[in-house]
């Protein structure tokens, strides 16, 4: 009988096929034993392949479960982040609205024809402060979206880290006084290297603002040191410290080790952005801390631009 084309599509082993001589008892005993041994081997090989397949399937099932859990965690984190971000973005808006409303009311209904200059200046200063807070939050969000898309452009130039640290520390003078922290900067000699000014300022700003925020009103110590090939920046505070299990996590996106109720104004992005910048500059950042005994962040940067650094 002719075989149709579509019947050629599959070929299978016939595992139970026995030659006619075996069935009819015409084969020698040796041939029969050989046949049986061969059969056994084939069966064992089939079993082995089945076990292998089963193990691969189990691995695949485990991997799928892991991926599913990962995506659920990512969705959970995104939802939490949206609620934290909207809360944080809204926080400066209330005082901003109140300042502007107060000013309008005074202009509309005040006794005097002209509102005293210092009252206007104070209201506008208050509004500007809230706007600055909003800008910081929005900038952080923009940075994260740039980093996620790998679009962090760096402008390389020769810089003095000592000068950058001194400048940023000066900007923090008022905030440090408000937090009751003495800001001690130990950076005497120039430490020159090839970096990106704005990004470097951002690294110092993030570390200093955290040290003041979590520094419990105790001194904050900053040092800049030069090694032949590298620059080392250390920011040390004597504040609340970090539990060992959070030490690595805090560098993650949206990760915080404190409750938003006690320490506001944070999206948990500062250290994530800081590490990304430091790594883009070819360096590294690490933290040492004991709960209740402060935290020390150490940034090491190569002074020459590394070939593969963005
Ligand atoms: P944010 O300060 O906005 O929450 P960061 O990414 O800058 O976000 O920091 C992440 C978390 O790391 C903080 O929420 C805090 O729990 C912890 N942290 C950062 N710096 C310090 C510090 N100097 N001392 C204690 N905890 C810190």
* pLDDT reading at 267 higher than 90: no
Measure the CA–CA gap between 271 and 86, rounded to whole angstroms: 20
* Ligand 1 pocket, residue 152 CB under 6 Å: no
Measure the CA–CA gap between 139 and 265, rounded to whole angstroms: 13
184 CA → ligand 1 middle, Å: 20
Looking at per-residue pLDDT, the higher value among 75 and 300 belongs to: 300
Q: Note the pLDDT tens digit of each residue in 29-88.
A: 888 888 889 889 999 999 999 999 999 999 999 999 999 999 998 888 888 888 888 888
Percent above pLDDT 90 for the chain: 63
Instruction: Give the nearest ligand 1 atom to 266 CA.
Output: 3
Residue of 243, 249, 268 best suited for mutating to test ligand 1, as the one with most atoms within 8 Å of CB: 268
* Ligand 1 pocket, residue 195 CB under 6 Å: no
Backbone angles phi, psi at 227, to 5 degrees: -110, 165
Contact 120, 103 (CB under 8 A): yes
82 CA → ligand 1 middle, Å: 19
* pLDDT reading at 116 higher than 60: yes
Instruction: Give the nearest ligand 1 atom to 206 CA.
Output: 7
270 CA → ligand 1 middle, Å: 8
CATH tag, 157-309 = 3.30.565.10
Contact 223, 208 (CB under 8 A): no
* pLDDT reading at 28 higher than 70: yes
* Ligand 1 pocket, residue 242 CB under 6 Å: yes
pLDDT of residue 272: 92
Contact 165, 233 (CB under 8 A): yes
211 CA → ligand 1 middle, Å: 8
Q: Which stretches within the chain are classed as H helix?
A: 20-23, 29-90, 93-109, 117-148, 161-171, 173-179, 197-213, 270-280
Cut 0.85: pTM above it: no
Residue 298: strand pairing partners: 234, 286
Instruction: Give the nearest ligand 1 atom to 271 CA.
Output: 6
Q: Note the pLDDT tens digit of each residue in 117-147.
A: 998 999 999 999 999 989 988 998 888 888 8
* Ligand 1 pocket, residue 272 CB under 6 Å: yes
Q: Locate the domains of the chain by residue range.
A: 5-63, 157-309
* Ligand 1 pocket, residue 88 CB under 6 Å: no
Residue of 207, 208, 242 best suited for mutating to test ligand 1, as the one with most atoms within 8 Å of CB: 242
């Amino acid at each position: 009988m002719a075989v149709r084309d579509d019947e050629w599509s599959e070929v299978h082993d016939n595992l139970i096929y026995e030659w006619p001589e075996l069935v009819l008892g015409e084969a020698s005993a040796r041939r029969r034993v050989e046949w049986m041994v061969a059969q056994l081997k084939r069966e064992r090989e089939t079993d082995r392949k089945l076990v292998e397949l089963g193990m691969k399937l189990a691995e695949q099932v485990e991997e799928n479960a892991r991926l599913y859990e990962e995506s659920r965690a990512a969705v959970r984190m995104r939802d939490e982040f949206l609620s934290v971000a909207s809360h944080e973005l809204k926080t400066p808006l209330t005082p901003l609205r109140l300042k502007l409303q107060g000013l309008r009311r005074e202009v509309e209904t005040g006794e005097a024809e002209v509102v005293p200059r210092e009252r206007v200046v104070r209201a506008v200063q208050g509004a500007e402060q809230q706007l600055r807070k909003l800008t910081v939050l929005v900038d952080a969000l923009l940075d994260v979206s740039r980093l996620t898309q790998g679009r962090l452009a760096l402008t390389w130039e020769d810089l003095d880290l000592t000068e950058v640290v001194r400048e940023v520390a000066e900007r923090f003078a008022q905030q440090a006084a408000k937090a009751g922290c003495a800001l001690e900067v130990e950076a005497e000699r120039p430490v020159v290297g090839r970096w990106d000014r704005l990004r470097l300022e951002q690294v110092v700003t993030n570390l200093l603002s955290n040290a003041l925020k979590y520094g419990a009103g105790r001194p904050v110590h900053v040092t800049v040191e030069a090694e032949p090939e590298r620059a080392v920046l250390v920011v040390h505070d004597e504040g609340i410290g970090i539990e060992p299990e959070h030490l690595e996590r805090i560098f993650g996106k949206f990760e915080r080790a404190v409750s938003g109720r006690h320490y506001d104004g944070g999206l948990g992005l500062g250290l994530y952005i800081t590490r990304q910048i430091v790594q883009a500059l070819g360096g590294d950042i690490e933290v040492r801390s004991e709960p209740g005994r402060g935290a020390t962040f150490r940034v090491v940067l190569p002074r020459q631009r590394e070939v593969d650094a963005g």
